[in-house]
């Protein structure tokens, strides 16, 4: 029996598999920038949560959903 390893990676010069296109890093990064530019950012704003050590309210900027999960009060806008 042979201990030779089977290679499953694409070797240099091999033809690309069907459905996979070759793209440069610059083109890929441009596509990522385009997607980021057209995807809306989640709403972020002031969320008042209780500090477990002191019991005082602390303001953090987060989304309304994350604020609710932290059992805080979402007031929106900037903190302090």
**Domain boundaries along the sequence of the chain:** 45-74
Strand order in the sheet with 45-50: 57-62, 45-50, 73-74
Residue 5 buriedness (CB in 10 A; 0-12 / 13-18 / 19+): exposed
| Contact status, residue 45 vs residue 76, Cβ threshold 8 Å | yes
pLDDT for 55 equals 87
| pLDDT digits 0-9 by tens, 2-34 | 444 444 444 555 565 677 778 788 887 788 787
Q: How confident is the model at residue 75 (pLDDT cuts 50, 70, 90)?
A: very high
- What was the pLDDT predicted at 46? 95
What is the per-residue pLDDT for 64?
92
User: For residue range 48-68, what is the model confidence (pLDDT) as tens digits?
Assistant: 999 888 889 999 999 899 999
Q: How far apart are the C-alpha atoms of 67 and 72, rounded to whole Å?
A: 5
Q: How high is the pLDDT of residue 23?
A: 77
Q: How far is 80 from 56, CA to CA, in rounded Å?
A: 14
């Amino acid at each position: 029996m042979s201990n030779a390893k089977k290679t499953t990676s694409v070797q240099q010069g091999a033809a690309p598999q069907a459905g996979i296109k070759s793209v440069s890093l610059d083109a890929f990064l441009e596509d990522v920038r385009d997607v980021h530019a057209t995807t809306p950012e989640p709403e972020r704003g002031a969320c008042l949560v209780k500090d477990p050590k002191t019991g005082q309210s602390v303001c953090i900027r987060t989304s309304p959903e994350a604020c609710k999960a932290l059992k805080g009060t979402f007031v929106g806008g900037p903190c302090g």
